Amino acid sequence: MIVGISGATGAIYGQRLLAALRALDIETHLVVTKPGERTVAWETDVSVRDLRAMADFWYPDADIGAAIASGSFRTMGMIVAPCSVRSLAAIASGNTDGLLTRAADVCLKERRRVVLMFREAPLHAGHLRSMAQASENGAIVFPPVPAFYDRPASLEEMVDHTVGRVLDLYDLDAGLVRRWNGQPGTHALGARRDEPELEACL
């Protein structure tokens, strides 16, 4: 699996993703942009060197001759976590200016799954057009929107749930998601069966 980390806020998603893939014994190939390295330093307690050590292989973003820049190098696909506006626009247009965006473009042309954890808000029309174009080209745009139906008790649980849902798209179960089963209870919305029904609101 190729993991890209770009310069948007949310470097913790990429970090947690690498840890989850290692636990699943999935070989990882990491590329971090220069803005991504700065974000890692600002937002986490993990150094860029330690982050690289979490992957099986890592490449500088300037290394456009890396293995992951070629479609003949077989992979499961790619996850960009987080994905910045610039990276999204480059991937959507095919105007690849570094290894991260080139690797994503390669995966798309080879019809491999690409998930973009686009991290930006609010959105203007240009952002929406880039999201639509990336989707039309085969990417899955997955903004890391937290879920609250499982009543997360910490930021870590919220991050893990999102990472687990992204891995679901590759049929990988890292055990990070509390599955909704349609039955209200402790970790689901709705009243418990032994609780009185609420009067309907008009």
How do residues 45-92 score in pLDDT, each as one tens digit?
999 999 999 999 999 999 999 999 999 999 999 999 999 999 999 999
Indicate whether 199 belongs to any domain.
no
CATH of the domain at 142: 3.40.50.1950
From the list 78, 147, 158, 110, the residue with the least C-alpha distance to 87 is: 78
Indicate whether 83 belongs to any domain.
yes
- Chain centre to alpha carbon of residue 118: 8
**In total, how many domains does the chain have?**
1
- What is the spatial distance between Cα 143 and Cα 97, in angstroms, rounded to a whole number? 23
* DSSP classification of residue 69: G
| φ, ψ (nearest 5 deg) of residue 16 | -70, -35
The answer to whether residues 97 and 91 touch, using CB atoms and an 8 Å cutoff, is no
Indicate whether 176 belongs to any domain.
no
Indicate whether 124 belongs to any domain.
yes
The answer to whether residues 83 and 54 touch, using CB atoms and an 8 Å cutoff, is no
Indicate whether 163 belongs to any domain.
yes
- What is the spatial distance between Cα 169 and Cα 78, in angstroms, rounded to a whole number? 11
DSSP lists the bridge partners of residue 142 as none
pLDDT of 39 > 50? The answer is yes
Indicate whether 198 belongs to any domain.
no
Residue with token string 């174009």:
133
* Amino acid in the structure at residue 143: P
Cis peptide before 146 (omega within 30 of 0): no
Indicate whether 174 belongs to any domain.
no
User: What's the pTM value of the predicted model, to 2 decimals?
Assistant: 0.89
What value does the mean pLDDT of the chain take? 91
Tokens of 161: 């749930």
pLDDT band of 196, cuts 50, 70, 90: very low
Indicate whether 43 belongs to any domain.
yes
Domain of 137, in residue numbers? 2-168
| SS3 assignment, position 31 | strand
- What is the spatial distance between Cα 108 and Cα 102, in angstroms, rounded to a whole number? 10
